[in-house]
Amino acid sequence: MARQAAATLTLIFPAMNSRGHCPPGLLKPGTCKEVGFTLIELTVTILIIGVIAAVAMPQLVPLLVFSELEGQARKLTHYGSAVMAEAALFGSELTIYLDLDEQQVYVTQTIYPSEEEEGEEEIDYLHMFSDFQRTSEYSSEELTDMLAGASQGDLRASSNLPEDFDPAEADAQMKDSLDLRHQQLIYKRAKNVIQDASFLSEIGPLFEEGFELSMAEPYEEELTDPLVERIRMPEGIRLEEIYLNGESVTRGVSEVQVTSLGLEQPVVLVMCNEEDCFTVTWNPLTGRGSMERGRL
């Protein structure tokens, strides 16, 4: 029975050999054809594809160029939002550099060196307590009672605190942190003082000997995190104009200060290619960036 069924199927669906010919003896001559395309059919198909590509490409190229400009504008929009979020999250003092000559944008952080001796590693008790507060299930009142007990030497009340936690050292670190922040504000304000001719210049210095702040000279360090790393304008796209304090800047390097409170002023950037322009705005009120097509 199985052999009879196989023979029937063979007659209905004749097998093909590797060259596309029917095996001899299965069907009558001339009833089995070779499978494939002729050279003329392939040539006509390729010709049709070439004509369609030649007609469509001039229409697609402007769309591709526009998409690259829009993508770069979106990247610059998110860049401003990321820098403001970085400053607010970590309390950092950041500076955005907009280099119109080199066509690049990057951000640096102002580092205030501590006066601790090199090689001496200090335990961060504030960070230790923050981790304990975040991971534990104690309420604010219970944590306050624990700290008060630790300050008074009550081992029973402070027994649940981390083993190496020292409340006196934590208070000292908090004071040092506030003092450092105060010195940073003084240094920043001193940099912004405008020196001009006045009657004090005729009197001379108020002190016989010069003096300087006890803190070490701060320095800047470029951020390399993926969200705030340096941006270089691609070929064909230019950062043409910047508006700071309502004034237009078209050349040189502009600096934008970003504190933990955000931007001090709105920043508007205009970037263009040969076909179109986009305007990117960093808003200090919302702490976010936005973009729109065209110039201001």
Q: Which of 105-109, 240-244, 248-252, 273-277 has the lowest mean pLDDT?
A: 273-277
Determine the topology of domain 77-114+166-293 in CATH.
minor pseudopilin epsh fold (3.55.40)
- The residues with which 111 forms a beta bridge, in sequence order, are 219
pLDDT-derived band at 123 (thresholds 50, 70, 90) equals confident
Residues of the chain with CATH 3.55.40.10: 77-114+166-293
Strands of the chain (E only): list them. Answer: 94-99, 104-111, 219-222, 231-232, 238-244, 247-249, 253-259, 262-263, 267-272, 277-283, 288-293
The fraction of the chain above a pLDDT of 70, given in percent, is 68
User: Would you say the pTM of this structure is higher than 0.75?
Assistant: no
Residue 195 has pLDDT above 60, yes or no: no
The 8-class DSSP code of residue 193 comes to P
Least confident of 25-39, 159-173, 257-271: 25-39
Backbone angles phi, psi at 96, to 5 degrees: -95, 130
Close Cβ partners of 184 (under 8 Å, ≥ 6 residues apart): 93, 110, 112, 218
